[in-house]
Amino acid sequence: MNKEELKAIIPHRNSMLLIDEATKISEDTSVGKKTIVGDEWFLDGHFPGNPIVPGVILCEMMAQTSAVIIAEKSAVSTPYFTSIEKARFKEMVRPGDTFEIECKLTRNRGMFYFIEGKGTVNGKLCVSANFSFALIERE
């Protein structure tokens, strides 16, 4: 899915649509990517002269990638974050890097979906986290 296709399944728009593309590769797995070009809004003050992508932004990128797993279920619902657990930041993501994301659905309980996510640059683990979200029907 490109950015326009992603807009059909998640409510994010510029400047909060943070991934360049995402694909569902199996029933419970999706992959995505974002090339950090250096002019992104979240780099402006993080950190001047030494820009690195904030951890919370990396987690949001993983969450947006995971939405592809349940795209057909979210046609009439919106996914909302309900938790982030065990977030671990191993390497920095910088301008010029292509951040590659893999998300796996580990379980589903009613409207709640539980995901394991990891993000890498050049095969090197940068971040991992477990998170959940709820699908809330749109009004």
Active site residues: 46
* Residue 73, both tokens: 């279920």
CA–CA separation, 47 and 33 (whole Å):
22
Which residues are CB-neighbours of 38 under 8 A, at least 6 positions away?
51, 95, 96
92 exposed, middle or buried (CB, 10 Å; 0-12, 13-18, 19+)? middle
Nearest residue to 46 (alpha-carbon basis) of 58, 35, 34, 29: 58
119 membership: H or E segment, kind and range: strand 112-121
